[in-house]
Amino acid sequence: MSKALVKTDFNFKGQKSVYHGKVRDVYNINDEKLVMVATDRISAFDVVLPKGIPFKGQILNQIAAKFLDETKDIVPNWKLSTPDPMVTIGVKCEPFPVEMIIRGYLTGSSWRTYKAGAREICGVKIPEGMKEHQKFPKPIITPTTKAAEGHDEDISKEEIIKRGLISAEDYAQIEEITYKLFERGTEIAAKRGLILVDTKYEFGKKDGKIILIDEIHTPDSSRYFYKEGYEERFQKGEAQKQLSKEFVREWLMSNGFQGKEGQKVPEMTEEIVNGISERYIELYENITGEKFQKADLSQDLAQRIQQNVNKAL
């Protein structure tokens, strides 16, 4: 099986601390910069699966870097450089404890909630009579809290402001930026024959300015449909052809796993792992319109990252 980076334990120049997330490991350099390593770990239903996916970290890191560059005219972002295929170095900000999820279509968890009878998500009213994968009259924002551990929770705009998680003034700004980023992402996707269905953005503050942080428009943070055949499939009530991590969730669900207590992750055979890796490469090429260049795996991945980051710092 190809190599996959699932664990990191670096000691970079000026390193003060490290945060190990579900997929990314973030190293704090002198409280000024962050070194974000996109590992090959994969998570679904807020659970990190037992095996890594070769090239997944490189794919996510390079897609995010590309879209950060393509949206910096809308909002400043945290990225300074990408010294390694799996690494972005950026400025350290004070993050807002909320993820801004924006949805253009009724699908995924929002459809499951709607199907169960809810007509309001995160304080946003949803019209009666909608069908799965139907386009909303206007994209809706359904924020979640950013949990340090466990599950993120849905929250309304009113509750965010009431609890003092974000000031009313800052929220108004990030709401406006979220709509603009989604519009840009939608335009870019359309050029590739794709529909940007939903995505999430995270923001922070640096020197009083709002900054876009973390990944953007990747298949881990976003869902894409293929534009061709969308309308036909929708009219027939058929499943949409997707470009997202949803295929991993579907494989898990079909094998009786949804992250609930007592459930066991199905066996990830070499065939399954390599199949997921190939799907991620397909995602990359479709989303970016570029051929994916696999990084050289002959050198130890951790050693390569350590050398490249230390040179950049």
Q: What is the pLDDT of residues 256-292, one digit of tens each?
A: 999 999 999 999 999 999 999 998 999 899 999 999 9
Distances (CA, A) of 30 to 118, 192, 203, 290: 47, 40, 21, 36
Cβ atoms within 10 Å of 119's Cβ, excluding its own? 12
Percentage of the chain beyond pLDDT 90 is 89
Global pTM reads: 0.90
> Which domains are seen in the chain, by residue range?
94-243 (3.30.470.20)
Ranges of H-type helices in the chain: 56-69, 108-115, 157-162, 168-191, 230-236, 246-254, 270-288, 301-312
Angle at the Cα of 144 (from 138 to 146), degrees rounded to 5? Answer: 145
Angle at the Cα of 156 (from 155 to 159), degrees rounded to 5? Answer: 90
Q: What is the pLDDT of residues 162-202, one digit of tens each?
A: 999 999 999 999 999 999 999 999 999 999 999 999 999 99
Distances (CA, A) of 158 to 141, 148, 155, 167, 188: 12, 22, 8, 11, 32
Task: Using pLDDT thresholds of 50, 70 and 90, give the confidence band for residue 1.
Answer: very low
